[in-house]
Structure formats: C-alpha cells, structure tokens
A = this chain, B = another copy of it.
C-alpha cells in the first residue's frame, strides 16, 4: 500500500448556463496540487498551504472534515500529513473548495487501496462543500471526481451521469478579482420561476446534452442559454454583458457565469477561436480598471489525477 500520494485536483465550472445546479465540467490546466503522507499515529496535520490564505487548523479546514469522515467510515485510526498547493483562488466561482474536498477524498481513497466508489467519494467531498459553503452541493465535486462533463441526475439518491466531451471544446475563464458574497448570490435567486421559463431551460439542457453526445457544436452553442439564473446574477459581476457579447462576437459558442461567479466562462470550438476569445475578453476587461486574471483550458476528461 502506498505511503504517499501527490495529486492534481482540477478547477471546475458548475451550472454551465442552462444547467443550474445540474451540470459541471472539469478543467485541464488549472487546479490544486495536494500531497498526503501516511503517519504512524492517528493525527491529521496540515503542514503547508500555499497559494491561498486558508486555515492550517485541521478542525477549521474542509480538508479535515473530509479526511475525518473517510477515516471514520473506514474504521482506521492512522493519520496523514497534508500539503496543499492552491493553483487558483477561493471565491472565484471555479470550485476552489470542491478541488480541495474532492482532491482529499480521491487521495485518501487511493492511500486506503480504493475501498470507495466514485459516488461515495462525491458524498465525502460534499461534506467538505457543506463545511465551506453551508450546503451539500454536488456539481463541482462531481466534476472533479468524474472528470469531463457531468450531470447530477438526482441528489436523493445521489446519481451522477458522465457525459461525453467533444474533442475540440475549450474553456476561457476570466476571473474579476472581486468578492461575491455567497449570501448575495443566493439571495438574488428566485424561489419561484415562470413555468414557461422552466420549459425553455429544460429544453436547452436537453439540447446541450444532445449536442455533447453528437459533437454538434452548433446545437451546443444554441443551447448555452440561461433564462433563469444568469439574468438575476449577472448584475453582481461588473461588465458581464459586455464580456459575454465580445466572447460570442469573437466566435465563442456561448458564455456564462461559472458557478456563483464572479468568473465568467466562454466555451469555444478549437484553440484558435479560444485564443481569439481570450484576447478579446482580456482586452475589454483591461479597460475596466478591475483586477482580473484569465486563462484558457481544455476540458479534462479525467478530472482528479495522480501526479506521483
């Protein structure tokens, strides 16, 4: 049995326009690294956190929540030394807590000899999401664990469906360095929505998923519409409409809010278009005076993975 594991846990985009609380996808080129080393005693110790200001105290870090739940469920009483190297910032809308939570679940499962199924790993990671965000959301952590595009078909019982990823799909992510309070992102959500809008939304979810199965980029593009959440959340993100417009004008298949924001994502077919989309989004946002970072990534078919 392995004594030490070094993993990569990807950033993720949840919601993906029409698929609010139902769809997620994993990025290839952005994420955290974590190293777990077995200890002879039963202690859980976070030795290092780089790249973000997060608590080293195991009782205050979601990594502790997930680790403890897994050790309890396995009836094991050894511990780990844990190193966390954040590759992207918390509060971005790119699933920072999900990367830590699902990365932990994956790494510990490997060190225990893989006793848990992927669905069980998602459930452990959801405990971490709850510790960090107050609710057991599954879309980001599922994308980390399963990779590619995922659909949360049901929460109770939990069922994750892996969707195919067309080869040529690229993500551009622009992260404005502003803070959106989780409370604000939640408070703008309507409790009730018109049936008509709901029908539009589920027709688009159907179209998007059909487009993924058939690699029909036109259908994917036409389906990337959110008539329910984006209209109320976009006001929390400065210059959202202009960024989306310039992305689509530059050839993106669509654009939207990543998770609860503030990151704005665009999907493009092929790296040439994705590069152009990134350049135009960057050039527009550079004029706003708001700090931001931006990057392109393929979708990771694999999700979380072992580096060493």
Contacts and interface: CB of A to CB of B under 8 A. Distances in A.
A166 interface: no
Interface string A2-42: 00000000000000001111110000000000000000000
Contact of A151 (B19, B20, B206): B206
Given A192-B192, A213-B213, A151 B198 contact: no
Nearest to A204: B153
**Total copies of this chain within the assembly:** 2
A203 B18 contact: no
A268 interface: no
A201 interface: yes
A191 B202 contact: no
A190 to B, nearest CB: 6
Nearest to A163: B210
Interface string A150-168: 0111100001010100000
Contact of A195 (B18, B151, B228): B228
B154 A222 contact: yes
Interface in A258-304: none
Contacts of A207: 151, 153-154, 159, 161
A205 B161 CA distance: 12
B203 A201 contact: no
Main secondary structure of the interface of A (DSSP, over half): mixed
A209 interface: yes
A97 interface: no
B163 A198 contact: no
A206 B153 contact: yes
A195 B193 contact: yes
A22 B161 contact: no
A199 interface: yes
Nearest to A205: B202
A194 B191 contact: yes
Contacts of A210: 151, 153, 161, 163, 209, 213
Contacts of A219: 153, 161
Which of A153, A154, A213 has the most chain B CB within a 10 Å cutoff? A153
6 contacts: A20-B202, A23-B206, A153-B204, A191-B195, A209-B210, A210-B213
